[in-house]
Chains A and B, each alone.
Chain A
Amino acid sequence: MPLVPSHTLRPARSIYVAVCAAFLVSLALRPAAAADAATLTLYSAQHHQMVDQLTQSFTKETGIPVRVHSGEAPEIANQIAQEGARSPADVYFTENSPELTLLDEKGLLAKIDPTTLAQVPAKYSAADGKWVGVLARENVLAFNPAMIRENQLPASLMDLAKPTWKGKVAIAPSDADFLPLVQAVVALKGKAAAMDWLKGLKQNAQVFSDDEGVVAAVDRGAVATGIINNYYWARLRTEEGVDKLHSQIHHFANGDVGGLINVSGAAVLASSKNPEAAQRFVAYLVSKPVQTMLGKGDIDFEYPLAKGVAPNPLLKPFSELQPPQISMAQLGDDRQAAQLLRQAGLI
């Protein structure tokens, strides 16, 4: 178009004006991204619906705004480690204990207030008081009754590596929940047995990228059983409705390693520029009202760890579980587990 009559340009100009106006309006309304001194920065590897609920009620109660950075547990832990003293994080709230142990080993965590620690049985927190247990999940085996009878289910997690289980089990080795399980097998059975177990799983298992994928696959009948944390099954049950659900869960008993309890904990970063608010947030997480809210609500399906708080009725009572005897220190950090998984060709 060599020459354009001016009237054809008018619509274009009005579009520019509209776009510029939209730009300015959104600029004015833009949520403040920068942290001011009073804002608490939370690095979270917990489920975001629950974290949203917690941060909102915390802000309402205390007036302290919270900004959240979410990610997978080992990712965030390694991120904090790389950021080091420059990390903007004040609090790290995560799904499993090994990430917290890793940061503790690197000296990046501050001591938790003793009154906060006292809310929770000591065995679910760090021995040195650098992080506190908030919630717990049970490791279970989801199964599809149409594909496998209940009396055929394994007594031990270790059985799943036997050749008879070929093609009948699903796992999510890159999910943060799988690493502590590997670590527990190492702690209780030794490294060589753990390696054999993983190699057996490599032969037997269908691999998914996360526990949500595993439980969905079991439910739709793509695979007979799947190793998950109980949370995901309860979650699927609530989302799909009981009548549409095709799967059930099997609890490992008699202290079998498969019945591992994973502890979701929180820590205050040593580099926090806002330690008071950070301590307050962690104390808030284990306070009775919050723990009761989490236990009652249909958002989170974990066991509240504060003394005397009942869990969601959908879950098997905490006292009836028969988990293996293993301490948080024995679970250690995830590094050895990740290495073994790589050697076994699972990640």
Chain B
Amino acid sequence: MTEAVASGPASRQRASRRQPPAALLVLALIGPLIVLLPLAFTLFEAARVDGAEAVELLARPLVGELLVNTIGLVLAATVAAATIGTAAAWLVERTDLPGYRAWGVLAAVPLAVPPFVSSYAWVSLSPGLQDFAGAWLVVTCSYYPLVYLPVAAALRGLDPALEETARSLGCGGCACFRSVVLPQLRPALLGGMLLVALNVLVEFGAFALLRFRTFTTELYAEYRTGFDGPGASLLAAVLLLLCLACLFAEVKVRGGAGYARLGRGVRRRAARLKLGLTTLPALAGFAALAMTTLGVPLGMIAYWLTQHGAAAISPAEASVSLLIDATISSLWLGLSGAAVTVALALPLGFVAVRYQSRFVTLLERMAYLAQGVPGIVVALALISLTIRAAYPLYQTTPLLIAAYAIVFLPLALVSVRAALSQAQRGLEEAGRSLGLGWAAVAWRVLLPLIGPGLGAAAALVFVSIVTELTATLLLAPIGTQTLATQVWADTSTLAFAAAAPYAALMMALSLLSTWLLARRFAATRFVS
């Protein structure tokens, strides 16, 4: 097969059997291959460690402590996020809570606040909020929207008939929620919880600032005391396995149980429950949630902006230029990273939508594996790889952008794939039959159809890169500072006032892009 859009109606019947053109397949392969690179390298390096040494390194008491810390926090944060997320979703979707629309938006916005920024806010508010309690608070605040958004969407989609039947059969309110609503929410809830767990496992910046030791912070400590030793690759391999286990569980939950509605006709909206006397506590709860997740981070940034940090800042006249430099670096990296990531996702998404086959599905799954590879593992693997085998790439911007592409490929792929599956094949064929070449079809038919989807993908990746810390910290070329690395450098040396302008600009960029996106797309599109 030599042409992408081959021929007439006969082949449409066998659309799923067609082979993609070789050139397209090669382009589609790049993404999954660069995702596999750090993953395979880390496991290879870990496997190369001498057996006895590996046992000695892994059986250290420290590894046990890290496992307890990490798994304990993952469990606590997941349960807390599930509780808060489900309660908030139910109140917003199913009750007459005054101002439920506004609360619904406020409940989703914390996703735009990177955890290391909220930990900066909490640490600078009170140094007492460190260790487990602080870490628990910060990650729960940052990640509960990952439960809230899918559960809210699921609640919107439920057929109220089932609940009404249960109630009419004498089921009380709570019993009805437990035995009828909750089982239907299970896929959304479990999927959200596993996403929370995955994010807590790979989180680095927040824990480092909160002085809470997990696998990621210890990996960084190993790197700091030895740059590139066998200990780091073993710890990385353990972390990687934990993440991949979470990822597979998530895929299983998402692909598994579904509660489809078989009845015909239009579904009614569920009646909103009258809260009555519980209105006030519910409102107070939402206000406290908004205060904790948004009020404190934004408030603390505003507070530190007005403070002169005596020991904090470099000579005053120079800090403005540093601020501008950091902003431009962040923007530039965000834009080029988004362009590269979407460019890698596009051929893969196209092949996945138009040429379904086992091989193509495998490619797609390989790309999604990146979700389970922590940024710190990617960064460390890329440093080791380039210093040993590709020195010209070492400490360069392209390497950093490659790291972004690896980490954020799944994010871009979800949006790109969704856009492509909405673009009807028939329109392209019509274009071809009217005499357009494939390039003209791509430019004049396909691109206008999938343009908004690509834009959304690029915007999501852009926001994620601007607020990304780990890979940027480890891979930024000499002399390159971004907003995120400046916040990090100042906060980790307790120079809170110096960090504030960078944190403020980063939050502004993040909130602005999120707002633009949310205006164009439904809020549920944020959850991959």
Residues of chain A having any CB pair with chain B under 8 Å: 1-4, 9, 12-13, 15-16, 19, 22-23, 26-27, 29-31, 33, 35, 41, 47-49, 52-53, 56-57, 67-72, 74-75, 77-79, 81-83, 86, 88, 174, 176, 179, 202, 207-210, 212-213, 216-217, 219-222, 235-236, 238-239, 298-299, 334, 338, 342, 345-347
Contact = CB atoms under 8 A, between A and B. Distances in A.
Nearest to A45: B224
A212 B494 contact: yes
B478 interface: yes
A129 to B, nearest CB: 26
Interface stretch (B12-20, B239-247, B325-333, B346-354): B325-333
Contact of B331 (A3, A26, A179, A213): A26
Contacts of A342: 60, 231
Given A4-B448, A52-B314, A298-B311, A210 B130 contact: no
16 contacts: A12-B452, A30-B332, A31-B479, A31-B480, A49-B498, A52-B322, A67-B479, A69-B478, A75-B223, A78-B227, A82-B228, A209-B208, A216-B211, A299-B314, A334-B225, A342-B231
A4 B453 CA distance: 13
B301 to A, nearest CB: 16
Q: Which are the 4 A-B pairs with shortest beta-carbon distances? A: A67-B479, A78-B227, A72-B224, A174-B221
Contacts of A88: 395, 478
A222 B223 CA distance: 27
Given A19-B335, A33-B480, A347 B221 contact: yes
Q: Is the interface of B mostly helix, strand, loop or mixed?
A: helix
Q: Is the interface of A mostly helix, strand, loop or mixed?
A: helix
A147 B498 CA distance: 31
A212 B478 CA distance: 25
B332 A41 contact: no
Interface in B220-268: 221-228, 231
Task: Name the residue in A9, A174, A220, A338 with the highest tally of chain B Cβ atoms < 10 Å from its Cβ.
Answer: A174
A29 B330 CA distance: 12
Nearest to A300: B311
B479 A69 contact: yes
Nearest to B396: A33
Given A49-B493, A298-B311, A41 B478 contact: yes
B328 A26 contact: yes
Nearest to A43: B478
A174 B310 CA distance: 28
A216 B127 contact: yes
A79 B478 CA distance: 13
Contact of B332 (A27, A176, A238, A345): A27
Interface string B302-324: 00000001111111001000100
B426 to A, nearest CB: 9
Task: Name the residue in A15, A31, A56, A217 with the highest tally of chain B Cβ atoms < 10 Å from its Cβ.
Answer: A31
Contacts of B328: 26, 29-31
Interface of B: 60-62, 126-128, 130-131, 208, 211, 213, 217, 221-228, 231, 309-315, 318, 322, 325, 328-329, 331-332, 335-336, 339, 387, 391, 394-395, 397, 422, 424, 427, 448-449, 451-452, 455, 458, 477-480, 489-490, 492-498
A33 to B, nearest CB: 5
A45 B271 CA distance: 62
Contacts of B310: 238-239, 298
Nearest to A16: B455
A235 B492 CA distance: 12
B455 A15 contact: yes
B312 A216 contact: no
Contact of B493 (A31, A47, A53, A347): A47
A235 to B, nearest CB: 6
Given A75-B227, A217-B127, A347-B225, 5 more contacts: A4-B448, A53-B315, A56-B314, A75-B225, A210-B492
Contact of A345 (B61, B318, B325): B61
Given A52-B322, A88-B395, A212-B493, A238 B311 contact: yes
A220 B478 contact: no
A13 B452 CA distance: 9
Contacts of B221: 174, 209, 347
Contacts of B496: 239
B211 A75 contact: no
Contact of A239 (B227, B422, B427, B495): B495
Contact of A48 (B225, B311, B493, B497): B493
A75 B474 CA distance: 11
A174 B222 CA distance: 8
Contacts of B318: 52, 56
Nearest to A24: B335
B214 to A, nearest CB: 11
B74 to A, nearest CB: 19
Contacts of A23: 332, 335-336, 339
A236 B478 contact: no
Task: Name the residue in B221, B224, B322, B391 with the highest tally of chain A Cβ atoms < 10 Å from its Cβ.
Answer: B224
B397 A33 contact: yes
B69 to A, nearest CB: 11
Contacts of B217: 209
A40 B336 CA distance: 27
